[in-house]
Structure 1
Amino acid sequence: MPTQSVLYSFPDTATLSDSLAEYILKAQRESVDKRGRFSIAISGGSLPKTLTALIGKTGVKWDKWHIFYADERVVPLDHPDSNHHLAKNTLYSQVPIPHENIHTIDPDLLDNLEELADAYEKELVREFAQKDSARFPVFDLILLGLGPDGHTASLFPGHELLSEEDRWVAYIEDSPKPPPRRITLTLPVINHAARIAFVATGAGKAPMLNAILDNPEQGLPAARVKPAAPGQLVWFVDDPASAEVKFPKSEFKL
C-alpha cells in the first residue's frame, strides 16, 4: 500500500528551511547509524538554496553524504542551467563534502543522451547494487520540487516516461520547460526511496498543490509519487502555497 502523505505548512520560508534541515538531519542520523552512509538525491530550482539551512548545524556528517541528482539538465557542469552548478555555488562550496561523494553526469557524454543516461544509471548501480538487494536503488532521501504544471524531477504531464517501469535513469529530449534535453530518475526509483520530501513555496504553487493533494486522481506526475510502506512522503510548504489545500495539515515535530 502507498504511504499516506504528511503536509507541513510554515509561515515563511526561513521556518520551512530550518524545519526541513532538522528533518534531513534526523534522516542522516538514522541512515548513518544503520549503514554508515547517507544517500540523497536532489532536484534543482530553489532546493539547493533551501539546503543552506544545514550550514553550521551541529551533527551534519558531510563526509557520509552521497549526493545524486533526481534530474539534471544536459549542459556542461559549469553552465548556469546545470543543477550541479547551482548546488555547487550555493552549498558544496561552503561545506566539506568529499568531491567523490557528489555524483554528477559525465560531461564527456553530453552529445549522446542514451549513453549519458546509461552512464548515470551505472553510477547508481555501482553505489547501490552491492549494498541493497532491491530491484531498484533505495535512497535514504529524495528531495523534490513541484512545477506549475505538476511536473517533478523531469517527469512531465502526459509524457511517455511516466510509464517507464524498468530503467533507473531515463533521458528526455523534448522537455516542455527549457532546456529540452535532460536526464531524470524514473518513478519506480523515486517511489522506492525510504523518504521523499517535496518542497513548494509561494502563492503561485497554491493551485497545483491543491490539484496534487486534493485531486490526485488527475494523475499529474507529482501525484504519482507514492512510496510503498514503510517509505515516508512529506510535504514542506509555506502558508501561501497551502492556502487552497483542503488536505489536513500536520504539526511539525520529530
Structure 2
Amino acid sequence: MALEVLNKDKKEVRVYENSDELSTDLADYIEGLSDASIKERGVFTVALSGGSVIRLMRKLCKVPYNKTVDWSKWYIFWVDERVVAKSHVDSNYKLAKDHLLSKLPIVPSHVHSINDSLTAEEAANDYEFVLRQLVKTRVVNASDISDCPKFDLILLGLGPDGHVASLFPNHPILEEKNEWVTYITNSPKPPPERITFTLPVINSAANVLVVATGGEKAEAAHMAIDDLGPKCLVLPARMVQPGAGKLVWFLDVEAASKVFWSVVPTKRVAIVDEILYMNEEV
C-alpha cells in the first residue's frame, strides 16, 4: 500500500497501513533530520518520550541506519521521565536503553537522563540546570522566538486521554510559561511523580513528531488534529503547536480512523481527490 500525506493548517499527517510501515518511514525521516542537523550544526539533539515511541524507533538499530547515521553526533534527552530508579520497569530511560541506546554507538556522555536520587522537584530543577548549561555551550540550540532551548527533534507519544509527555488534560502545568522543566506528584497515570518539559520548550523545537498507533488513540488524534470549532476541548496534544518548527503526525490506520480529513493508505489518487473534495464541501 502506498502512503498518502495531507497538509492542513500547518499540520502534516502521515497515515500507514501498519506499524511496520510506520516504523520504516519514521526511521527514514529521523535519519534525514539527523543528516541535515549534523551538516548544519555538527550535532543532533533529540528528546525522547517513553511508551510505544521507543519501540517504533527500532528500525534505527538495524541496517542501513545503524551504519549510515553519525551516532557520535547525537545528544539524547528525555521529554519526560518517571521519578523512579533507572533500573525500574517504569523508567523511560530503561526503556530507551533496552530497546535503543544499548544497540547503537551513541557516546555515553551524550546521554542526559535525570538524577534519579532526587525528589521530583529537585530532579526537575537539576535537569533544567543541565539544559541551561548545554544551551550556553551551544550543544543545544537556543530558540529564535523564545528563551527556550531549540531541540532538533522532540518525539512524543499520544495517550488515549490526549496527553503528551507528562502533560495531562486540565492539569495546572499546562499553563506554565517560565520554567523549562517542571514536575508533578499527582499523575493520573502511575507512577505519580514525574518530570516533564513544559509546552513552551516543546513548541520551541525545530521538529516535533507525534507518533500513535491503535484504535484506542483514535478519538484523541481526532480531537487533537481536526478543526472542531471554538468549543472544541483543548487537549494537551492539541496545544503542541511549534512556533517556528515543523509538526508531523505519524499514525497507523487505526489511530487515524476518526481523523476527518486524513486519508487511509491507497494507491488510487482518484480516491484521495474525492475525499479532499468531500471535505471541502462539508
TM-score by length of structure 2 reads 0.84
Structure 2 match to 1:120: 127
Which of residues 232, 236, 249 is equivalent to 1:235? Answer: 249
Residue type matched to 2:10 in 1? Q
Pairing of 1:1-254 with structure 2 (within 5 A): 4-55=10-61, 56=63, 57=65, 58-109=67-118, 112-131=119-138, 132-134=141-143, 135-214=147-226, 215=228, 217-229=232-244, 231-249=245-263
| Structure 1 residue 113, shift from structure 2 partner | 2.0
The 3-state SS of whatever aligns with 1:240 is coil
Q: Which segment drifts farther, 188-197 or 211-220? A: 211-220
Q: Structure 2: any 5+ residue segments left out of the alignment?
A: 1-8, 266-282
How many angstroms does 1:5 deviate by?
A: 1.0
| Aligned equivalents of 1:250, 1:97: Cα separation in 2 | 36
Aligned equivalents of 2:182, 2:259: Cα separation in 1: 32
- In the TM superposition, residue 59 of structure 1 has moved relative to its aligned partner by 2.0
| Deviation per residue, 1:162-190 (Å, 9 max, x gap) | 00000000000000000000000000000
Say if 1:7 and 1:250, in contact at 8 Å, map to a contact too.
Answer: no
Q: 1:194-247 CA deviation, whole Å, 9 max, x = no partner?
A: 000000001111111111111384210000000013x10000010111111113
1:94 deviates by: 0.9
Deviations 1:100-145 (A, max 9, x none): 1110001221xx2221111000111121233244310000000000
CA RMSD of the aligned region, Å?
Answer: 1.5
* 2:189 maps to amino acid: K
> Structure 2: which amino acid aligns with 1:243?
S
Alignment CA distance shift 1:130-1:160 (3 Å): same
Does the 8 Å CA contact 1:6/1:250 hold for their aligned counterparts?
A: no
Structure 1 distance, partners of 2:249, 2:264, is 10
Contact 2:142-2:150 at 8 Å conserved across structures: no
Q: Distance in 2 between matches of 1:128 and 1:218?
A: 35
State how many pairs are aligned: 246
User: Is the 8 Å Cα contact of residues 8 and 250 (structure 1) preserved in structure 2?
Assistant: no
RCO greater where, 1 or 2, for CA within 8 Å and sep 6 or more? 1
The alignment partner of 1:103 has SS state of: coil
Q: Which amino acid aligns with 1:42?
A: L
The answer to whether the Cα contact below 8 Å between 1:129 and 1:137 also exists between their aligned partners in 2 is no
Cα distance in 1 for partners of 2:86, 2:213 equals: 27
Q: Which runs of 5+ in 1 are unaligned?
A: none
| % identical aligned pairs | 45
Q: Is the 8 A contact 2:48 2:78 kept in 1?
A: yes
1:250 Cα deviation after fit:
9.5
